[in-house]
Amino acid sequence: MSKTLVLENSLPEFTKDRSRAIGAILVELGRLSPLEVEKIQQFASKQNLRFGDAALKLQLLTEDDVNLAVAQQFKYPILRKGGEGGVSDEVIAAYQPQSVAVEALRVLRSQLGLRWNTPNERKSLVILSSDRGDGRSWLAANLATVFAQMGDRVLLIDGDMRHPRQHELFKLNNSVGLSALLTGRAGKEAVVRIHPQLRLFVLPAGFLPPNPQELLGREVFDLVLKMFASQYDLVIFDAPATSEAADAQILASRVDAGVMLVRRNYSRAAQVKSAMQNMAESGIHVIGSVINEYGS
């Protein structure tokens, strides 16, 4: 039995949306026909099973199908993987929230909350790593998603104006983004909401500028960050690799806190040590480190 199905019975009735049955939801989604719904209901009644369990026994649905329908009952959106309007298969928290990997991300979410001393400090967070391929963009995208799933209003900003990836992960147009915002060629309309039932917003990097360091160091960056901090519960930055340029250090110095990511059997110890020393000498508040086995 899937974790989501157990959760359905454990939550009080007022938390559920009972206006639509699971069968009706799955018919709308094209996963079942009305005749199959009737067949499942009859089998469930005879065997004293819930609809989802009966459908699984009849092999008319997969666990993912049932989880998707239950998520809609609980008004807990599950995004589509791939295709138009979907997300990359790397954003696992968006389309497979009950996976083991996402449970680990929820633990990280809780740990971050404990490490921040006061709610006023919990406004902006930058994900750092020493090298490209450490999984920094993957972590930023999925961490932003799990915070939004908790109900927070979250803005994910791709601060890597050299090798941006968030537009790829969320299937967004990258023609307008942070670079245009910092040069006065765009406004808040550059921010994209990912799903109408999920308070997750993304600002891609936009057109790659010739002077990313200078853009991040300008006073206008502080003004933009202050504006977003007043509108969102949390702003998460995906930063460039610390070994490639000073962009990450400049970005980290402007936000409230940072997390250092290390990829197991990939990150080089000397580079990680150097990055941590640079952050400490700059007075940057690194509230923790994460060992990752996923690269992106």
> Which pLDDT tens digit goes with each residue over 186-242?
888 899 999 988 999 999 999 999 999 999 999 999 999 999 999 999 999 999 998
**Roughly how many angstroms between the first and final C-alpha of the chain, as a whole number?**
32
Token digits of residue 36: 């199959």
Under 8 Å between Cβ of 212 and 162: yes
pLDDT of residue 133: 86
Secondary structure letter of residue 246 according to DSSP: S
Under 8 Å between Cβ of 50 and 5: yes
pLDDT of residue 209: 95
Q: Which domains does the chain have, with CATH numbers?
A: 3-73 (no CATH), 92-292 (3.40.50.300)
pLDDT of residue 281: 82
pLDDT of residue 199: 94
The Cα 90–Cα 73 span in angstroms is 25
Strands (E) located in the chain = 124-129, 154-158, 192-195, 198-203, 234-238, 257-263, 286-292
pLDDT of residue 187: 85
CA distances for 61 relative to 3, 57, 97, 103, angstroms: 16, 9, 18, 24
pLDDT of residue 120: 59
Residues in contact with 60: Cβ distance below 8 Å, sequence separation at least 6, in sequence order: 32, 36, 39, 40
Residue appearing with tokens 């500028």: 209
pLDDT of residue 122: 60
In the chain, which residues have pLDDT < 70?
A: 1-20, 73, 75, 117-122, 294-296
Under 8 Å between Cβ of 219 and 105: no
